[in-house]
């Protein structure tokens, strides 16, 4: 009776036959494939074709109905894992591993493997709601958008367009992000931001200011080629688990050095070959400490520096101050260990640097990033395989949303806010510059960076004269951004209460729904998740992947793009905004949006990735090699997977994408490149004796493969082409377009403004990079700290060091004051470090993401982390009578803030250090606020947010907050 | 005939819990039932290692031996399955299981155990392969479709291997040889009375 | 016993695993010194040299999930598969054999002086209610318990899997639910009769004379003779042990972990079969083994002659207390068999 298995072989389905079974069990080949261990070629043998239909013998809801496979991208980090969804009768019934993806090869982490639950929707917002006298009331989409639109117009009338804040999301598709930025522009404000502000804004600023583009230079899979990898301020084992597949396999195959530098002995460190514990906020001393040994022993790459780096001598001067003794005094890292690490990094090459929030989320975030870049430059570890700055970003499309301008300082694709940028996008959008300017309060404010998302509540609560725009913020329109990921939550709650209008457009109510005592004027709009939305997403490695809509939006949820269209219609600029975008049933056609991006995205090489090319890649993933990311066969042969930007020229130009930035070993047409001379071609330096000299910023005798110019060169314009005599290669149509771009001085039209793509095409045909061939800047003149210098955190546990390493003076940045210096001085004077003796740092858990609303609403994930906790060292816990698993009160250094959570007593954190995850919300200063959520839409797990405790401190370049180094006190509850 | 086994390469496991949620997802396992889990030894200390653990589908399975109502059977692939129809929820398999695999839904008023649930190696139960009844009681039957357990298929670092014992042992050996270290095939001695010599 | 000790040791040692397994871990690694996280990776074999159970940290708030491996399950299995059936079989079958032989050799212990026709109250209604409640529960618990140990080899082949499971399921429910009245019964028995069951010097004499079982001796006894006292203490202690261990198993993980539950089951099983064997003797002596004994728990009144023969001292006490000419001298219409 119980041995029915004997005849099972006969019953196995067709798939078994397809896999080539010989004798019952899975044979080796089939096995390797099914376990994702086989290489691409082998994997091709038994592949399920995309969209194939498999007979449903297995029992989801209905037996017999056909099952369709749809591909989308996991939304929970930037690795870009392919999610393979099995859909039956319009219901997502199962997930299969996407073996063919050259990025994740079937793998997922806890979040990716549980992602189907998101669309189950047990805890999703079901219909639009509004807060009426403290009660959530249902209303129709029409009513909601009408009321919101009227209120927005009223605020616009009274306070001007800058009083409305458009907070976007890294979970938008590229098309959604672009549309959101465009929307803000058409509304008439630069107050348009998203999560990148609080994650990698400092990376983007620091890296772009060094060598041209603000993105990961290499790719996850390329890390397999590294001989030494340093992970500094990152815990990818929890934040980017699938990346560890590449790191660990690389470590095994190369027998590579894997060094983790972090205040916590993280799960990543557990698999490292060496772990270095530093004090939070002392990254620059540690990097300089390494460079001290590198310069002293002559381990630097002199030829590389000579040819490709500007200003390294200025760095040497600063590094001299960082003797091993001083480094140890400040950071706690012993010199001998640092010497060993420095030697590995400089001599066992290629070496790569990996960083995340540990480096970026500081008042010195940009300087930290710059220091890391300088370490790479000094050792010649950029622009080649196995090397580079591998910056792991945090959401599906945070790279894409950054690229597409959800940023207070620029229009899409880093064109900036100057008149030229507005005119460029005006040409792409086909709207008149004058009309666009009329949308803004003034031309001046049109070209002024907006308020960063870290400061929105300051812009609400500060006296009007301290906010450099026509009025305070009066309304927040939030699409897909949590309220608990920004520091200083007690201040945010205050800000919320003062807002006239708060609109939260999200699949979940989010912390915005419960924080503050608002009684009226809050709207919740149910939005489709990323899985219910088609469009492209840019992974951390700049590869763009096309995701299909897996199922139709559930309940009354609407696509982001549809909501933006409807609201634009209500506000009266839909016709202009969607001039070149077809709208079907109120839903803008995503392919059209991407084509518009292609038409304007020259500066960053977002021009070659047409929807058709991206869809071809997605459908033929199996053709791409995991290690090189290159298609070896099939319709995309020669392309790199996802056409990682820059993908130059028009789609027809068929540039394969750029897998490694600044790689001179390849010709530009194969994805090669050089550093970008983005900050002029020469610089006037003042020497010690007061005399001046001009120094070239162009490449010094280096060039990319097949370049016809064997030295540095500036960016291409029509004028330069003429000088070189290459303008003859332009077609007439191209010339006509260039003429149209600038009828008065066509020679000034550059590769980035030429809407024909002709200048790029011609430059590349001659083996040259359109943006020019320059030197990376070790000295990033123009930044507040052109040479990175150490500055103590605002709330430092070492007040004795503040005199020598103070934070920057107070200044007005991004329309609001940054009084970091005053706050730091007051903290030192008041002896805050005595009252709050523990360092508080925050970070990610593998089970949750971001503010955590959607993951804490996912029962499969929520079960794994049911309580907010703080990690504390056993000796600190013992001193305070705190037991592992016991409740504690944590108090913060500002606002008399307090938070109740559980203690996790562990040696993972050193003595004097605590760490807490930032994903929790739903409690506020000890109070469970579950009742404040709309009924049925409360997450499964609630908890105190660590950002109740985090404090003041902003990076001067980007407005980045400081959640990684503040102070707290813990006592048993 | 293949002998199906699990192998967790602790030097690759990063406690990402993908195996745990993949299992929940594929088999619609309810809250409180953990067919698979990840345990970290030496947490936060040098030598920290995580191991993903579920039913190991033992040779001469102790659960089967002690079951008062004889609900267990071993398939031709060496997978240890059980019949929920015959289970009375006595808990004996849990006492005998070296790996803490058996799980019991709470039923009744006093923590009384319902019918035992455990990892099936994604091979369902005694009902007809791929039938609705089988899915509802035991979850998916991937093996019958020529697929391996989803936990291993989705493992983020290819740490958790599932499949023919000889093949996965070979893969593990090759790995250890290539990288030069390996803390062993956790649980194999207990489950299969044999380790992997590397 | 070695097994039990090993188990206890396992439990104690396992608690300290994190500290012990830390090998070269510094007491507090707060000082940022050179750490090679790979240098001290433990292997399973190394850990098992020191520990009987591997435990760690897991994110699920479920302590039992954090036990990675407990090979002790194998020992428990051998107890359950080998030791317990042997103990049970020997104890139960052995006891039956002894009783049968005894009956054949000795026959029923007759009332030597014949019935007097006068009775004396031995157990009042409440006592009898408690006794029978406990007894009925016990029998059902015993049978359903034995089913767990022996059912698979004895009943399953006869009933077939479906019927056997249905029966076992009901048996389990009965076992769980009847444990409550049984436990109450044991507690009441304990309280009710404790006064008469404190061992004293009379018992020594009684035991020396073999309780009068052999031959036709009648050693003196108070209300309970030494044999009955043994039954009492078996019921109180055995019943108590069975109840406590039973509840540990019934409320899994409330107070104990898997090691504790294995221990509990070992105790429960062993006590259970021995208890059952002892009760067989009790049942024997209360029924076919002795004339006039059943009446004590049947009607609650025993013949004065019976009392005199078996509980002389108690009868004397009773008579002294109530006076010699009580009304219960009326002959009973139907003497109990």
SS3 (DSSP) at A535: strand
Which DSSP symbol is given to A664? Answer: T
Q: Residues B79, A24: contact at Cβ < 8 Å?
A: no
Contacting chains of A (3 CB pairs or more, <8 Å) are B, C
| Count of helices and strands (H, E) across chain C | 16, 4
Asked whether the predicted pLDDT for residue B110 surpasses 80, the reply is no
* Alpha helices, H only, chain B: 18-27, 62-66, 92-96, 132-138, 150-153, 165-179, 188-192
Rounded to the nearest angstrom, the minimum Cα separation between C48 and chain A is 22
List subunits contacting chain C, requiring 3 or more Cβ pairs under 8 Å: A, B
Structural element, H or E, at residue B112: strand B112-113
Angle between helices A732-741 and A758-765 (to 10 degrees): 130
Longest CA span, chain C: 98
Closest CA to C206 of C219, C197, C191: C219
User: What does the pLDDT look like over C54-86, one tens digit per residue?
Assistant: 999 998 888 888 999 998 888 899 898 899 999
Which are the contacts of C98, defined by CB distance < 8 A and separation ≥ 6? Answer: C281
Give A-chain residues touching B141 at CB under 8 angstroms.
58
Helix (H) or strand (E) holding A294: helix A283-297
* B143-182 residues touching A, CB cutoff 8 A: 144-148, 150, 152-158, 161-164, 167, 171, 175, 178-180
- Which residues neighbour A205 within 8 Å (Cβ) at sequence distance 6 or greater? A214, A366, A369, A957, A958
State the angle between helix axes of A283-297 and A365-378 in degrees (0 to 180), rounded to the nearest 10.
20
pLDDT score at A35: 53
pLDDT in tens, A902-926: 999 999 999 999 999 999 999 999 9
pLDDT reported for residue B102: 94
Q: Which CATH number fits domain C124-328: 1.20.950.20, 1.25.40.340, 1.10.10.10, 3.40.50.300?
A: 1.20.950.20
pLDDT at A352: 97
| Residue of A269, A332, A337 lying closest to C34 (CB–CB) | A337
Whether chain A has a CB inside 8 Å of the CB on B17: the answer is: yes
What is the predicted pLDDT for the residue at C318? 83
Question: Which is nearest to B184 in space by CA: B10, B53, B36, B56?
Answer: B10
Question: In sequence order, what are the residues at sequence separation of 6 or more whose Cβ sits closer than 8 angstroms to the Cβ of residue B27?
Answer: B35, B120, B122, B138, B139, B140
High-pLDDT (> 70) share of chain A, %: 93
Question: Which tokens in the block code for residue A850?
Answer: 């971001």
- Pseudo-torsion of CA C255, C259, C260, C261, nearest 10°? 90
Q: Cα dihedral sign for A387, A388, A390, A396?
A: negative
Q: How far is CA C28 from CA A875, C25, C170, in A?
A: 7, 8, 55
Is the separation of the CB atoms in C221 and C310 below 8 Å? yes
B34 touches chain C (CB under 8 A): yes
pLDDT band at residue C222 using 50, 70 and 90 as cut-offs: confident
Q: Could you identify the residue written with the tokens 């940023």?
A: A407
C259 touching chain B per CB within 8 A: no
The stretch A553-575 carries a mean pLDDT of 96
Torsion angle, CA of A308/A313/A318/A320, rounded to 10 degrees? 110
Beta-carbon separation of C69 and B186 below 8 A: yes
Q: Which residue from C2, C19, C9, C20 is spatially nearest to C52, judged by alpha carbons? A: C9
B4 vs C253, residue with greater confidence: B4
Gyration radius from chain B CA atoms: 16
Distance from CA of C39 to the nearest CA of B (A): 7
> What sections of B86-163 are H helices per DSSP?
92-96, 132-138, 150-153
Q: Which residues of B157-175 are buried (b: 16+ CB within 10 A; e: fewer)?
A: bbbbbbbbbebbbebbeeb
State residue A37's pLDDT score: 56
Q: Which residues contact A38 (CB under 8 A, 6 or more apart)?
A: A29, A32
Q: Which residues pair with A95 in a beta bridge?
A: A85
ipTM of the complex: 0.96
Is C59 within 8 Å of A847 when comparing Cβ atoms? yes
Alpha helices in A621-725 (DSSP H): 718-724
A21 is written with which tokens?
Answer: 């079974």
Least CB–CB distance from C37: residue in A275, A334, A336: A275
User: Packing angle between helix A365-378 and helix A201-211, nearest 10 degrees?
Assistant: 40
Q: What percent of chain A has pLDDT over 90?
A: 92
Task: Please state the rounded mean pLDDT for residues A76-90.
Answer: 94
Can you list the positions of beta strands (E) in A139-294? 164-167, 192-193, 228-232, 257-261, 274-276
A58: confidence class by pLDDT, cuts 50, 70, 90: very low
- What ranges in A745-819 are assigned the alpha helix state H? 758-765
B68/C168 Cβ within 8 A: yes
What average pLDDT does this structure show over B169-183? 92
Residues A868 and A944 sit within 8 Å (Cβ to Cβ): yes
Query: Residue C281, Cα to own-chain centre: how many angstroms?
Result: 14
Q: Are A841 and A264 in contact (CB under 8 A)?
A: yes
Q: CB B16 to CB A238 under 8 A? A: yes
Under DSSP, is residue A165 helix (H, G, I), strand (E, B) or coil?
Answer: strand
Of A348, A347, A430, A356, residue with least CA distance to A389: A356
Quickly state the pLDDT bin for C112 (edges 50, 70, 90): confident
pLDDT digits (tens, 9 = 90+) for A873-887: 999 999 999 999 999
Instruction: Name the residue facing B186 among C36, C44, C77 (closest C-beta).
Output: C44
CB B186 within 8 A of CB C69: yes
Tell me if A907 sits within 8 A of A875, measured CB to CB.
no
What are the two backbone dihedrals, phi and then psi, of residue B164, each rounded to the nearest 5 degrees?
A: -55, 125
Nearest-angstrom CA–CA distance, A230 and A738: 46
Nearest residue in chain A measured CA to CA from C38: A273
What are A287-311's pLDDT values in tens digits? 999 999 999 999 999 999 999 999 9
Mean pLDDT of A129-151: 96
∠ CA C162-C163-C166 to the nearest 5 degrees? Answer: 90
Nearest to C32 among A2, A276, A873 (CB): A276
Q: Which residues of C touch A874 (CB under 8 A)?
A: 28
Residue A675 in contact with residue A703, Cβ under 8 Å? no
Q: Does C162 touch chain B (CB under 8 A)?
A: yes
**Six token digits for residue C26:** 């510094």
Decide if pLDDT at A59 tops 60: no
Per the model's pLDDT, the better-predicted residue between A2 and A223 turns out to be A223
Q: Give residue-wise pLDDT tens across range B42-74.
A: 999 888 999 999 999 999 999 999 999 999 999
Eight-class DSSP state of A162: G
* C-alpha atoms less than 13 angstroms from C-alpha of A914 in its C-beta half-sphere: 32
Pairing label, strands A811-813, A816-818 = antiparallel
Q: Is B60 on the interface with C (CB under 8 A)?
A: no
Closest CA to A202 of A45, A367, A50: A367
A456's enclosing H/E stretch is helix A456-461
Mean pLDDT, all residues of chain A: 92
Q: What does the block give as tokens for A829? A: 């004077």
Between A624 and C22, the more confident residue is: A624
Contact at 8 Å (CB) between A597 and A755?
no
pLDDT digits (tens, 9 = 90+) for B115-138: 999 999 999 999 999 899 999 999
Taking CA atoms, A225 is separated from A132, A207, A830, in Å, by: 58, 22, 51
């Amino acid at each position: 009776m119980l041995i029915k298995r004997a005849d099972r072989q006969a019953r196995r389905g067709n798939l078994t036959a397809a896999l080539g079974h010989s004798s019952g069990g899975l044979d080796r080949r089939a096995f390797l494939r099914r376990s994702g261990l086989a290489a691409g070629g082998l994997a091709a043998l038994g592949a399920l074709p995309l969209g194939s239909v498999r007979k449903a013998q297995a029992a989801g809801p209905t037996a017999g109905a056909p099952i369709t496979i749809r591909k989308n991208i996991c939304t929970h980090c930037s690795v870009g894992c392919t999610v393979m969804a099995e859909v039956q009768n319009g219901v997502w019934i199962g997930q299969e591993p996407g073996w063919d993806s050259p990025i994740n090869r079937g793998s997922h982490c806890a979040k990716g493997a549980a992602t189907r639950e998101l669309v189950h929707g047990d805890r999703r917002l079901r219909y639009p709601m509004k807060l009426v006298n403290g009660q959530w009331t249902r209303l129709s989409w029409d009513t909601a958008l009408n009321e919101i639109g009227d209120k927005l117009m009223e605020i616009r009338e009274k306070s001007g367009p800058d009083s409305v804040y458009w907070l976007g999301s890294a979970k938008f598709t590229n098309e959604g992000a672009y549309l959101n930025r465009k929307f803000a522009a058409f509304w008439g404000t630069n107050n348009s931001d998203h999560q990148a502000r609080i994650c990698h804004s400092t990376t983007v600023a620091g890296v772009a200011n060094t060598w041209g583009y603000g993105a990961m230079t290499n790719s996850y899979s390329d890390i397999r080629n590294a001989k030494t990898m340093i992970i500094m301020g990152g815990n990818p084992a929890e934040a980017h688990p699938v990346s560890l597949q590449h790191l660990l396999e690389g470590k095994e195959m190369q027998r590579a050095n894997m060094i983790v530098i972090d205040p916590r002995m993280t799960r990543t460190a557990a698999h490292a070959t060496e772990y270095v514990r530093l004090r939070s906020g002392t990254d620059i001393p540690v990097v300089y400490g390494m460079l001290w040994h590198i310069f002293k022993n002559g381990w630097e790459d002199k030829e590389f520096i000579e040819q490709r780096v500007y200003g390294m001598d200025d760095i040497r001067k600063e590094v001299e101050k960082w003797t091993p003794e001083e480094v140890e005094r400040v950071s706690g890292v012993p010199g001998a260990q640092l010497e060993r690490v420095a030697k590995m990094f400089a001599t066992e090459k290629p070496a790569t640097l990996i960083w995340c929030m540990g480096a970026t989320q500081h008042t010195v975030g940009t300087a930290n990033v710059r220091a890391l870049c300088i370490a790479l430059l000094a050792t010649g570890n950029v622009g080649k395989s196995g090397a580079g700055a591998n910056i792991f970003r945090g959401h599906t499309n945070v790279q894409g949303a950054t690229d597409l301008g959800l940023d207070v300082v620029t229009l899409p694709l880093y064109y900036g806010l100057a008149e030229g940028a507005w005119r460029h996008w005006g040409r792409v959008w086909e709207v008149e510059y004058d009309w666009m300017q009329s949308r803004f309060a003034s031309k001046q404010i049109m070209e002024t960076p907006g308020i960063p998302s870290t400061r929105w509540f300051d812009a609400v609560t500060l006296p009007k004269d301290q906010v450099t725009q026509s009025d305070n913020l009066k309304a927040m329109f939030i699409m897909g951004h949590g309220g608990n990921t920004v520091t200083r939550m007690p201040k945010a709650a205050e800000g919320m209460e003062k807002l006239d209008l708060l609109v939260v457009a999200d699949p979940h109510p989010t912390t915005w729904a419960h924080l503050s005592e608002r009684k009226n004027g809050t709207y919740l709009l149910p939005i489709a998740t990323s899985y219910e939305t088609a469009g492209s997403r840019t992974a951390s490695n700049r590869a763009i992947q096309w995701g299909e809509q897996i199922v139709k939006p559930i309940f009354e949820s609407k696509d982001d793009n549809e909501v933006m269209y409807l609201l634009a219609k209500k506000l009266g600029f839909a016709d202009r905004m969607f001039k070149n975008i077809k709208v079907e049933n109120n839903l803008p056609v995503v392919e059209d949006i991407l084509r518009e991006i292609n038409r304007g995205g020259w500066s960053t090489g977002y021009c070659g990735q047409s929807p058709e090319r991206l869809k071809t890649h997605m459908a033929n993933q199996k053709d791409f090699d995991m290690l090189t990311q290159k298609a070896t066969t099939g319709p995309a042969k020669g392309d790199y997977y996802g056409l990682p930007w820059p993908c130059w020229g028009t789609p027809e130009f068929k540039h394969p994408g750029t897998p490694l930035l600044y790689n001179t070993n390849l010709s530009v047409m194969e994805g090669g490149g050089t550093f970008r001379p983005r900050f002029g071609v020469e610089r006037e330096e003042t020497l010690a004796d007061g005399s001046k000299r001009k120094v070239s910023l162009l490449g010094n005798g280096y060039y990319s493969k097949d370049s016809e110019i064997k030295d540095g060169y500036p960016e291409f314009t029509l004028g330069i082409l003429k000088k070189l005599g290459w303008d003859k290669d332009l077609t007439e149509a191209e010339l006509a377009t260039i003429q149209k771009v600038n009828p008065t001085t066509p020679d000034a039209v550059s590769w980035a403004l030429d809407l024909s793509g002709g200048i790029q095409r011609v430059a590349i045909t001659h083996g040259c990079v359109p943006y020019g061939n320059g030197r990376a800047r070790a000295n990033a003149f123009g930044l507040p700290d052109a040479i990175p210098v150490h500055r103590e955190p605002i709330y430092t546990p070492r007040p004795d060091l503040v005199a020598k390493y103070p934070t920057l003076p107070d200044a007005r940045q991004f329309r609001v004051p940054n009084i970091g210096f005053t706050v730091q001085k007051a903290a030192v004077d008041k002896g805050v470090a005595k009252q709050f003796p523990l360092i508080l740092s925050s970070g990610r858990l593998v089970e949750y993401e971001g503010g955590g609303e959607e993951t804490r609403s996912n029962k499969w994930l929520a079960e794994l982390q049911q309580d907010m906790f703080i990690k504390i060292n056993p000796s600190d816990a013992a001193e305070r009578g705190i037991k592992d698993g016991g409740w504690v009160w944590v108090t913060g250094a500002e606002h008399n803030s307090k938070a109740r959570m559980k203690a996790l007593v562990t040696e993972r954190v050193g003595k004097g250090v605590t760490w807490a995850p930032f994903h929790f919300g739903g409690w506020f200063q000890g109070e469970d606020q579950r009742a404040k959520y709309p009924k049925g839409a409360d997450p499964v797990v609630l908890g105190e947010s660590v950002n109740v405790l985090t404090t003041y401190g902003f990076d001067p370049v980007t407005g980045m907050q400081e959640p990684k180094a503040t102070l707290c006190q813990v006592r048993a509850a | 005939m293949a002998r199906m086994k699990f192998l967790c390469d602790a030097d690759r496991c990063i406690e990402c819990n993908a195996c745990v949620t993949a299992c929940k997802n594929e088999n619609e396992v309810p809250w409180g039932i953990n067919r698979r889990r990840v345990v970290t030894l030496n947490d936060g200390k040098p030598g920290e290692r995580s191991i993903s653990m579920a039913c190991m589908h033992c040779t001469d399975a102790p659960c089967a031996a002690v079951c008062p109502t004889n609900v267990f059977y071993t398939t031709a692939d060496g997978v240890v399955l059980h019949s929920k129809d015959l289970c009375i929820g006595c808990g004996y398999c849990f006492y005998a299981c070296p790996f803490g695999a058996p799980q019991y839904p709470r039923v009744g008023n006093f923590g009384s155990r319902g019918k035992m649930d455990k990892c099936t190696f994604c091979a369902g139960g005694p009902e007809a392969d791929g039938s609705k009844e089988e899915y509802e009681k035991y979850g998916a039957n991937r093996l019958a479709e020529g697929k391996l357990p989803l936990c291993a298929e989705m493992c983020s670092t290819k740490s958790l291997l599932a499949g023919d014992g000889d093949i996965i042992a070979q893969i593990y050996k090759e790995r250890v040889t290539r990288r030069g270290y390996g803390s062993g095939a956790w649980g194999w001695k207990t489950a299969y009375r044999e380790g992997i010599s590397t | 016993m070695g097994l039990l000790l090993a188990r206890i040791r396992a439990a104690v040692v396992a608690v300290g695993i994190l500290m012990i397994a830390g090998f070269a871990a510094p007491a507090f690694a707060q000082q940022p010194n050179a750490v090679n996280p790979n240098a001290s990776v433990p292997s399973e074999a190394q850990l098992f040299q020191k520990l009987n159970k591997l435990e760690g940290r897991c994110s699920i708030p479920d302590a039992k999930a954090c036990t990675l491996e407990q090979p002790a399950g194998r020992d428990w299995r051998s107890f359950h598969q080998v030791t317990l059936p042997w103990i049970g079989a020997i104890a139960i079958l052995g006891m039956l054999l002894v009783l049968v032989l005894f009956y054949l050799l000795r026959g029923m212990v007759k009332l030597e002086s014949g019935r007097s026709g006068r009775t004396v109250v031995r157990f009042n209604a409440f006592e009898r209610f408690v006794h029978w409640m406990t007894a009925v529960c016990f029998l059902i618990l015993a049978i359903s318990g034995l089913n767990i140990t022996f059912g698979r080899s004895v009943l399953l082949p006869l009933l077939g899997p479906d019927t056997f499971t249905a029966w076992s399921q009901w048996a389990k429910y009965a076992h769980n639910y009847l444990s409550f009245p049984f436990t109450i019964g044991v507690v009441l028995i304990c309280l009710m009769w404790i006064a008469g069951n404190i061992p004293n010097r009379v018992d020594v004499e009684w035991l020396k004379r073999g309780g009068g079982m052999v031959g036709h001796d009648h050693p003196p006894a108070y209300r309970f003779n030494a044999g009955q006292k043994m039954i009492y203490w078996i019921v109180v202690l055995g019943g108590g042990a069975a109840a406590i261990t039973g509840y540990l198993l019934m409320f899994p993980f409330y107070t104990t972990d898997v090691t504790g539950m294995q221990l509990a089951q070992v105790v429960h099983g062993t006590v259970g079969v021995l208890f059952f064997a002892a009760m067989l003797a009790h049942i024997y002596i209360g029924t076919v083994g002795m004339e006039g004994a059943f009446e004590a728990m049947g009607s609650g009144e025993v013949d004065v002659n019976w009392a005199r023969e078996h509980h002389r001292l108690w009868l004397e006490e009773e008579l002294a207390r109530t006076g010699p000419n009580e009304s219960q001298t009326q002959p009973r219409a139907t003497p109990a068999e």
